[in-house]
Structure 1
């Protein structure tokens, strides 16, 4: 069996590919973490973001949504200066903004998970890709979800970011079919 090629020989990327990527997750905290990290990636490589993941967890109290929603401007500036996160202030501010928007969705739908997973009828989209090059950067569904999130006030949620996010939380399985981590090969 051949695995997806995109992680290359990078151990951090391989661990993410093997243990998290395209595995369905319904936990709002994890979903918020992935939304934050995917937004931080905009214009950068995923490897850079993964290498800063632990700093993000410390800075944002393990992505506690209520904590993030209540951060002050001074605390956001402090995070930029004191933690090894992406130093783009708009991306840092988006964590607070998106946490507030997430709390609103939780009030309306019961959870962020319920809101998002309804887009795929609560069942992951299992794709049949032969090569990494077959994986699109965005889809009609990611375009629609991006528009809907933007209407709700979310930031850094363009259709390409959202497609990567959908993969990150397992709404989509884009492992190549020969990869042992594709849904059809996983046993647990």
Structure 2
């Protein structure tokens, strides 16, 4: 397996010093545990609606989403009724996708359960050890609604969790680095990816988001 130093050199050789610095500048700091749970539900919902859709349309309509879903209040949305659903399905201020609208209710229930179990859903997820990020991915897939795969991974990153992301470019980087051979969809491959990230973090001291972006920069776009 290649060292992180080797991967970083490859990334800089591909992007150039300035290009690499620009590429890394957008890796967020991790404030997830400080979020209110309604903001976490909002982030989950935004990423679910953006999946397979034009992201800019969701951004433009987002004020309508905030109004329609009562500021993503957890308790209110967990009690979404049939009348509420009908109202959402006729609301032109949001994207009227019934299956995705129902995820607001289901994920409100999920976050309510976590808050009841641990005091704060955002703090519980934010404190999840980055050394077991794939375990957190499994939790979102098992207990959340439409939070498996890239949707949940991007939602965590955008909410501020220091998440690795198994995007197409990162998976290509993992193959290039000799970590896996092929896709990163099986539990075995994901655990291998996690172990490699843990080793690179120990080597470099870099955040997992930085390592993830470096891997993506080290392979062709």
TM-score (normalised: structure 1): 0.66
Verify: 1:36 aligned to 2:45, yes or no: yes
Verify: 1:146 aligned to 2:137, yes or no: yes
4+ residue runs over 6 A deviation: none
Matches within 5 A, 1:11-160: 24-25=31-32, 26-27=34-35, 28-120=37-129, 141=133, 143-152=134-143, 154-160=144-150
**RMSD, aligned CA:** 2.7
For the residues of structure 2 that align with 1:31 and 1:107, how far apart are their CA atoms?
15
Contact 2:64 2:93 in 1 (8 A): yes
TM-score (normalised: structure 2): 0.57
Contact 1:31 1:113 in 2 (8 A): yes
Q: How many residue pairs end up in the alignment?
A: 144
Once the two structures are TM-superposed, the CA of residue 39 in structure 1 deviates from its matched residue by: 1.3
For the residues of structure 2 that align with 1:175 and 1:3, how far apart are their CA atoms?
12
Contact 2:141 2:149 in 1 (8 A): no
For the residues of structure 1 that align with 2:138 and 2:100, how far apart are their CA atoms?
18
More helix per residue: 1 or 2? 2
Larger Rg: 2
Q: 1:147 to 1:53 in 2, by over 3 A?
A: same
For the residues of structure 2 that align with 1:48 and 1:144, how far apart are their CA atoms?
32
Once the two structures are TM-superposed, the CA of residue 23 in structure 1 deviates from its matched residue by: 5.4
Once the two structures are TM-superposed, the CA of residue 151 in structure 1 deviates from its matched residue by: 2.4
For the residues of structure 2 that align with 1:73 and 1:150, how far apart are their CA atoms?
25
1:118-162 deviations in whole A, cap 9, x for unaligned? 2236xxx9xxxxxxxxxxxxxx83x5323212322x211022011
Structure 2: runs of 5 or more not aligned: 1-17, 163-206, 212-221
For the residues of structure 1 that align with 2:59 and 2:152, how far apart are their CA atoms?
17
